[in-house]
Amino acid sequence: MGVRRAAKGVGDFLVETLGEAVAEVILSLLACALLGCLALIAFLSWSFSPRFTLAGAGLLSLLLAHGAWQTFRTRARGHRGGLAALTAVGFTVTAVTALFLLLFSTGCDCL
Residue 62 has pLDDT above 90, yes or no: yes
Kindly give, in sequence order, each residue whose CB lies less than 8 Å from that of residue 46, ignoring residues fewer than 6 positions away. 53
Encoded amino acid at 89, one letter: V
Q: Taking the domains of the chain in order of start, what are their residue ranges?
A: 2-104
CA 106, 17, 11: angle at the middle one, nearest 5? 170
The pLDDT of residue 111: 53
pLDDT, greater one: 62 or 81:
62
CA 94 to CA 34: how far, in whole Å?
A: 13
CA 93 to CA 98: how far, in whole Å?
A: 9
pLDDT, greater one: 100 or 109:
100
CA 16 to CA 32: how far, in whole Å?
A: 24
The pLDDT of residue 79: 64
